[in-house]
Every structure is written in structure tokens, then in C-alpha cells.
Chains A and B, each alone.
Chain A
Amino acid sequence: RKEVEQDPGPFNVPEGATVAFNCTYSNSASQSFFWYRQDCRKEPKLLMSVYSSGNEDGRFTAQLNRASQYISLLIRDSKLSDSATYLCVVTRDNYGQNFVFGPGTRLSVLP
């Protein structure tokens, strides 16, 4: 089993749609969780950290369920500029620096 798994995608949605991404991880020792976005041929950029209490940043909402080892990202009112690959990232150890990336889910928002 891979350490981090994500919806295979791609997701093609119209502007204004709500889209949800799922991610599961296998290492129960993971302490920190993130969603990164990566544009084509660019480096990943942090979208948001994910907390057990859930967190929201504008149109983006992230949830973490430690018991199920499951992470989600919800994007509301999607924009053309949201088109990218979304990477689920967990830390491998208690020190929180060793990142493990999921395979990514490609999102295309269509006009």
C-alpha cells in the first residue's frame, strides 16, 4: 500500500462548481498534513495546512480525520485559476520535516 493515496482524477468541472478531493495515508505516526498545489512545470506551493479541527481559508476547506487517516479538501465556487494538480502531503515522522507526497489529483476548471 502506498503511504499516501489520492483520488486518481482528473476532475473536469465547470466554473462555480464545488469539488472535493480525498486523501488517505497509512502511517499513523504522521503529525502534520498539508495540501499543496502544483501548476504545470512549476514547484509545489502550499495551499493550506490541515488540522484535526478542520480549517477554512476563503473558498477552501480542509478536514482531517486521524482515526480514519483521511484528509479532504473542498473547493467552493471554483475559478479557472484553480486549475492545477493538488497534492496531499503528510509527514513521515514525529519531527514533521520528512514530507511524503501523494500522487496528486489534477483539476481542470472549465469556462
Chain B
Amino acid sequence: GAVVSQHPSRVICKSGTSVKIECRSLDFQATTMFWYRQFPKKSLMLMATSNEGSKATYEQGVEKDKFLINHASLTLSTLTVTSAHPEDSSFYICSAPTSHSSYNEQFFGPGTRLTVL
């Protein structure tokens, strides 16, 4: 099946720093990618839709100036958590739909675990 990678898999940073997370589709092109956040014992919550060549679409309650998204190419989307604080500590997962699937299946990256001290 299609493969989506994320980097880094884990990051620990000090409060106030910015953290960039990369999401890559390895064997297919993705004009759209999705960014989710998952807090412990909770389900995935969609943060934003990343669109290649245009601005990202953010879900209600997600600050676009804090969570910067750049979809620079058909295989790469980045999420930058700016001025991170301990409450931003979470599991961040990206996904990409593949046009090869007729069932609107999405493939998920392995996730990035962010811990802000």
C-alpha cells in the first residue's frame, strides 16, 4: 500500500521554541494532506487540511498563526508549531488520500510525539 512518512518521530523541546514536522508521501503524489492531533486517551482531531499550492484550511479553534502549514510540493507538507508550550504536547499525525484507491482511503504517517518542557 501507499506509504506516508513523518519526521521526526519524537521531539522534546523547551517552551517557546518552534518545532517543524515533515510529512511525506513516498510513492504517490498528494495534493491534499491532513494534520491531526491526538491527546492521551483521546481520538484524533483534525487540525487542518494542507493544500498544495494554496493556503491551508484550519478547523475551528485551531490557531493558524501558531500552527503554520506549508505544502511546498506534491509529496511534502510541513507543520510548524511556533512558540510551543506544554499544552501543545501531543501526538501529531498526518495523512494523505491516494487517488489509487476507490474508497477514499487515507494513509497515515507514523506520527510525531511532541513533548514541550
Give residues in A with beta carbon < 8 Å to B. Answer: 31-32, 34, 41-46, 49, 87, 91, 96-104
Q: How many A-B residue pairs have CB under 8 A?
A: 46
A44 to B106, CA, bound (A): 10
Across the interface, do B46 and A41 meet the contact criterion of CB distance under 8 Å?
A: no
Q: Please give me the residue from chain B that is nearest to A45 by CB atom.
A: B108
Q: List 30 A-B contacts (CB under 8 A).
A: A34-B105, A41-B91, A41-B111, A41-B113, A42-B110, A42-B111, A43-B93, A43-B109, A43-B111, A44-B44, A44-B93, A44-B108, A46-B105, A49-B103, A87-B43, A87-B44, A97-B34, A97-B97, A97-B104, A97-B106, A98-B49, A99-B46, A99-B95, A99-B106, A101-B36, A101-B43, A101-B44, A102-B43, A103-B43, A104-B43
Judged by DSSP, the binding face of B is strand
Q: Please give me the residue from chain A that is nearest to B110 by CB atom.
A: A43
Closest Cβ of chain A: how far from B77's Cβ, in Å? 14
Known contacts A32-B104, A97-B32, A101-B45; can you find 17 more A-B pairs with CB under 8 A?
A31-B104, A32-B103, A43-B93, A43-B109, A44-B44, A44-B93, A44-B108, A87-B43, A87-B44, A96-B104, A97-B34, A97-B104, A99-B46, A99-B106, A101-B36, A103-B42, A104-B43
